[in-house]
Amino acid sequence: MLRKFFFLLLTIFAVAAPASLLAQAVPARRSTLNYELYGGYSYVFRPYDHTQDFPVSGGMNGWEASLRVPFPIFGSWLGIKGDVSGSYRNDAPNFNPHAYFFLLGPQVSAHLGRSTVFVHGLVGSSHLNDTAIPSLKSNSTFAAAVGGGLDYGLSRALAWRLQADYYNTNFQSTDNQIHQIVNSNGRVSTGLVLRF
């Protein structure tokens, strides 16, 4: 009887010990997961104009903000990113477009010490002010962005971001004068990342 009790106690210990070690390892793994809050300046390039044989100068200045939330199951390399941005151009009294983007999608990250390299694919919507082009069929449309960047670690909680994106919208006009609006474009942005 004593042998059975000792064998049962040993079996329970053998099963419980790895589970208790795993339970202690989970908080350590979760502590490496970071939420990332970003805010900074962005510049949207103006595309090549095929009617003229040279790149058109002058892009759109603006801002960008994003929040990345990690997936605890997959570790710190995969997260969901929400991104909002605004771009503005004021070079003519009758043409001053203001474009806003609301995007969401996965971000894959690789951590290199305090720094992080990442790529993302985002989908959502874009909104253009009504006064930019009166002949717009709709001032809101589907938008998608693909890009990546580098968060250069300044400390454990702060980083400086350099990011580049290619995005596409689907704005259409009733008079086919949509060449004045950027439907496929490049964007660069830079600013501060807060990790918590």
**Least confident window among 6-20, 80-94, 132-146:** 6-20
Burial of 151 (0-12, 13-18, 19+ CB in 10 A): buried
**CATH, residue 148:** 2.40.160.20
Give the Cα separation of 164 and 166 in Å (integer). 7
In a shared domain, residues 102 and 84: yes
Taking residues 33-61, report their average pLDDT: 73
In a shared domain, residues 4 and 50: no
pLDDT band at 28 (very low <50, low <70, confident <90, very high): very low
Amino acid in position 194:
L
In a shared domain, residues 12 and 52: no
In a shared domain, residues 75 and 166: yes
The predicted pLDDT at position 89 comes to: 78
Taking residues 72-84, report their average pLDDT: 88
C-beta neighbour count of 42 within 10 angstroms: 22
| DSSP 8-state secondary structure symbol assigned to residue 113 | T
Q: What is the pLDDT of residues 119-177, one digit of tens each?
A: 999 999 998 875 656 666 667 889 999 999 999 999 989 999 999 999 888 777 666 55
In a shared domain, residues 177 and 85: yes
In a shared domain, residues 96 and 161: yes
In a shared domain, residues 13 and 91: no
- Structurally, the chain folds into a number of domains equal to 2
In a shared domain, residues 51 and 67: yes
Q: By residue range, what is the domain housing residue 15?
A: 1-31
Average pLDDT, rounded, for the chain: 77
In a shared domain, residues 50 and 5: no
The predicted pLDDT at position 64 comes to: 97
